[in-house]
Amino acid sequence: MISRREFTALSAFGAMTSFMAPLAFADAPTKKRLIFINLKGAMDGLHALAPYADSDYRKLRPTLGLGFPGTDKGVLDLDGSFGLHPALTAFQSLYRSKELLFVPAVSTQYRRRSHFEAQNMLEGGGASPYQQKTGWLNRAIQQMGASPNRIGLSLGPTLPLIMQGQADVRTWSDSRLPEAGEDFLNRVSGLYDNDPILHKAFKQAYETETDPDSMKNMRLGNGRLELSMTAALSILKEKNAPRIAVIESGGWDTHFAQERRLGKLFRELGNSLALIKSELGPVWQDTVVMIVSEFGRTAAENGSNGTDHGTGGLAIMAGGNIKGGKIRGTWPGLSASALFSERDLAPSNQLEGLFMSTLVHHIGLTENQVADHVFPSINNIKMMEDLYH
Amino acid sequence: MRMLPSRVLIATNRFGLGANSFDVLKAQSNPKKWLHDQISSTKIEPEIPSKLPSSDQILLESYLSRGIKDEDKKQDIRKIRRKQFYGALSARLKNQIKTEHPFAERLVMFWSNHFTVSRTRGIIGPAIPAYENEAIRPHIFGPFEDMLLSVVQHPCMLIYLDNISSIGPNSLQGKRRGKDLNENLAREILELHTIGAQGGYTQADVTNFAKIITGWTVARKRKNARRQKTPPGNFMFNNRVHEPGEQILLGQTFRQNGQAQGIEALKHISRHPSTAKFIATKLVRHFVNDNPPAQAVEKIERVFKSTNGNLAKVSHALIDLDEAWDDTGTKVKSPEELVISTLRALYDDGLTALPPRRFLFPALKTMGQDIFHAPSPAGWPDEAEKWISPESLKHRIEWVRAISQYSSLSSQPLDVFANTIAPFTTDDIQKLIKGAPSREDGLALIFASPAFQRR
């Protein structure tokens, strides 16, 4: 029992129950969807999409190099010169139905080889590491209309930089802890008024749509992409679902035993992509899936059947509205003189150019909005044209 | 209500692992002295020793079990190893709760996170608590270079960052088998452990440093045990994979042969001015503010440089930073700090047993910090916005409510409040805690409050 005096003290904190009421979700400003898959640790693009017919490739990768099509563990051929890792069958079929394209030799503005600086630039969208304090997708969401809150979705207990910023983002993570209960939350709501960080997080955590019942059995696992994707998709299938989702996947830093490890990861990645298409049904027509990584890996294999940090990587885009079935951008080749710093696939294509194209041609922002508000510190973005129908 | 001076609680919360009546009793006459006295020239032994075997034994078992084909037997081994690992985590947590030198234990956590090895590399997982005790704990008040050398010669680090498979291309084995370098460890030592990414090194430095430490590896079990000089699972230098010849690193030429080349190079790196700055920045971020004030960083940097990285002197200097005592509550606790400090406050009358395990390590994972499972060699972050999101705060609130049901009966909210956060809260919050419908909810509200979520 609380005494009358104490009750008055409690009520002094104002709207004790109103914070529990879900916010009405304003109509989303677009029906278009973007699912951004961040492969953390630097995916070896040359092991996903291999220039298998190139003799330089064979020289650089005597052990790791993928075989010719039709041979044991050979590539899935795409066009007679490039082929996919055999675990990427899901990519091959979407490529054939012209719903998936590749941009190899792609990179942000970053030219050194630290994961953490590179990830910061990939997610912050700055011209140098740690220049931007918020994420470029959050800044893009803020440009999307009058009510930018809860257009973004992120999984896991913490928010990745790419989704940090002014726009509130819907979040979900699994928990086996018992719920705190309404009475307790009412009391807690009075605690955070003078602490901006905790106050904002608390408001967002509880002023929210309730998660669908299906989420109760969902687990995030240890960063396993298929589990996260299954969880994300059950939210993305809701009626007024978030429009822009970020999903992270780890384990791509393959300094050793690359073939065994990437085989598993590629299979998960392919399955996840297939899952998106089948689960979203007709919404697939309005969806683009963007798969990127902070940088590529060395063109040559290292001493432990792996590869070290490199520069030019690989971006993959898929969706119903993509002009797929193509390998886009400039291919610099793997000859000794073509390599960047005599070791990496050259960064011939600009990752920010793909981002800009997606925000303009898919999401519907203007070029000026993107240049001035999403990537204000990068002044030489060349938008890659003709990616969308 | 009795009100403790805030300096007592800054010492116990910010520098220690969370205030309770024991701490407060010892710290209250002279909080700074209480901290200075925890700096010791002898190794700080855990008060709760874990029964965990040493890392070489664990690693040897792991290597041996790789050959086992029988699935049942494999499962059994996995079970034993899990039990061992969580047993070690429980002992570690108990020690963090009961310790009488929480500042020293905080530094063990800081340095073991600085030199992160992670369960992301499965084979070293069970050995990580042993790694912390063997490579980190003995050196927290010694010269920084001793800790660096001990980490880089520890099997867990050599496996975690792949140095065991780095082979000098012109070494005996490199030439015979056409094998090459793996630069992972060399790069992360420069970037994460010493100089820092902005500290001024080049790709050539990374490559040359990788060459210098080729041959730093872990002894495998050999068929002919009599020919085995180093017991398996231990560090060894293997000259057959070491890249011969002199190397230039950070402008200095290293002409030594064999292992001495790496030792000299690591000493050189630990004395590099960028290392002093990098370490000072990270320490000040931990003890003062997410945005480390430049003046405070300079003070620590100067001590680090002038003492060649004497970590006892550096730790004394941290206690003496005015900035650390001026502005309180600037740091949001990590989930691990929250769990430790809550349990320290809850078990004020002495800990007999830990709460059920599901409210410990799985709960930490839910709050975003799966112990010894940092996602990358950069370790856990040390900034508020990396820890607080709507989801993580929700789980923190769920956790404090759940854990408060497990308090010892003598923990009374107002005592706990007075002994932990009273000077840092508003009257409103105090009223809320007083108005709680039960003892447990009163405690949970203390732990959920901003002053307790911060330090």
Residue in A87, A171, A386 with CA at minimum distance from that of residue B389: A171
Determine, for residues B453 and A174 on separate chains, whether the beta-carbon distance falls below 8 Å.
no
Question: Which residues, numbered 315 to 334 in chain A, qualify as contacts with chain B under a Cβ-Cβ cut-off of 8 Å?
Answer: none
Is residue A204 one of the residues assigned to a domain? no
Burial zone of A199 (CB within 10 Å; 0-12 exposed, 13-18 middle, 19+ buried): middle
Give the separation between CA A11 and CA A4, rounded to whole angstroms: 10
Residue A282: per-residue pLDDT: 95
Q: How confident is the model at residue B1 (pLDDT cuts 50, 70, 90)?
A: low
Residue in B44, B164, B170 with CA at minimum distance from that of residue B107: B44
How far is CA B255 from each of CA B207, B212, B271, rounded to the nearest angstrom? 16, 10, 18
Beta-strand relationship, A326-327 and A100-107: parallel
Residue B375: pLDDT over 80: yes
Give the separation between CA B453 and CA B334, rounded to whole angstroms: 9
Q: How confident is the model at residue B437 (pLDDT cuts 50, 70, 90)?
A: very high
Q: What is the pLDDT of residues A177-198, one digit of tens each?
A: 998 988 999 999 989 999 999 9
Determine, for residues A309 and B434 on separate chains, whether the beta-carbon distance falls below 8 Å.
no
Tokens of A345: 């696939």
- Per mean pLDDT, which range of A49-63, B71-85, B355-369 is the poorest? B71-85
Is residue A359 one of the residues assigned to a domain? yes
Determine, for residues B197 and A309 on separate chains, whether the beta-carbon distance falls below 8 Å.
no
Residue A4: per-residue pLDDT: 37
Q: What is the pLDDT of residues B227-245, one digit of tens each?
A: 778 888 999 999 999 999 9
Chain A hits for B376, Cβ within 8 Å: 40-41, 115-116, 253
Overall size of chain A counted in residues: 389
Give the separation between CA A61 and CA A68, rounded to whole angstroms: 13
Residue A11: pLDDT over 60: no
Q: Is B428 on the interface with A (CB under 8 A)?
A: yes
Q: Is A146 on the interface with B (CB under 8 A)?
A: no
Q: Is B191 on the interface with A (CB under 8 A)?
A: yes
The total number of structural domains that make up chain A: 1
Kindly report the CATH number assigned to the domain that includes residue A75: 3.40.720
Q: What is the dihedral of CA B360, B362, B367, B368, to 10 degrees?
A: 120
Q: Are B197 and A110 in contact (CB under 8 A)?
A: no
Residue in A221, A188, A21 with CA at minimum distance from that of residue B442: A188
Distance of alpha carbon B257 from the chain centroid: 33
Q: Are B277 and B374 in contact (CB under 8 A)?
A: no
Q: Who among B358, B367, B389 is closest to A159 (CB)?
A: B389
How far is CA A356 from each of CA A74, A353, A380, B217, rounded to the nearest angstrom? 35, 5, 12, 46
Closest approach of B207 to chain A, Cα-based (Å): 11
Is residue A79 one of the residues assigned to a domain? yes
Is residue A163 one of the residues assigned to a domain? yes
Residue A15: pLDDT over 50: no
Q: Are A76 and A49 in contact (CB under 8 A)?
A: no
Chain A hits for B120, Cβ within 8 Å: 250-251
What percentage of chain B has pLDDT greater than the value 90? Answer: 78
Q: Is B292 on the interface with A (CB under 8 A)?
A: no
Distance of alpha carbon A15 from the chain centroid: 38
Q: What is the pLDDT of residues A277-318, one digit of tens each?
A: 999 999 999 999 999 999 999 999 998 899 999 999 999 999
Residue type, A217: N
Chain B hits for A115, Cβ within 8 Å: 376, 378
Q: What is the pLDDT of residues B68-113, one digit of tens each?
A: 888 888 888 888 888 989 999 999 999 999 999 999 999 999 999 9
Residue of B nearest to A164 (CA): B385
Is residue A273 one of the residues assigned to a domain? yes
Give the separation between CA A212 and CA A66, rounded to whole angstroms: 43
Q: Which residues pair with A172 in a beta bridge?
A: A155
Q: How confident is the model at residue A2 (pLDDT cuts 50, 70, 90)?
A: very low
- Per mean pLDDT, which range of A211-220, B38-47, B312-321 is the poorest? A211-220
Segment A87-109 mean pLDDT:
97
Terminal C-alpha separation, chain B: 22
Q: Who among A41, A117, A202 is closest to B197 (CB)?
A: A117
Tokens of B125: 């997982």
Mean pLDDT of chain B: 93
Residue A49: per-residue pLDDT: 98
Beta-strand relationship, A76-77 and A83-84: antiparallel
Q: Are B7 and B324 in contact (CB under 8 A)?
A: no
Chain B hits for A185, Cβ within 8 Å: 397
Chain B hits for A61, Cβ within 8 Å: none
Name every residue whose Cβ is closer than 8 Å to that of residue A222 and which is 6 or more positions away in sequence: B370, B373
Residue in A18, A7, A6, A12 with CA at minimum distance from that of residue A186: A18
Residue A215: per-residue pLDDT: 81
Please give the DSSP secondary-structure letter assigned to residue A240: T
Domain span at A42: 32-174+218-374
Q: What is the pLDDT of residues A311-361, one digit of tens each?
A: 999 999 999 999 999 999 999 999 999 999 999 999 999 999 999 999 999
**Interface A:B, Cβ pairs < 8 A:** 187
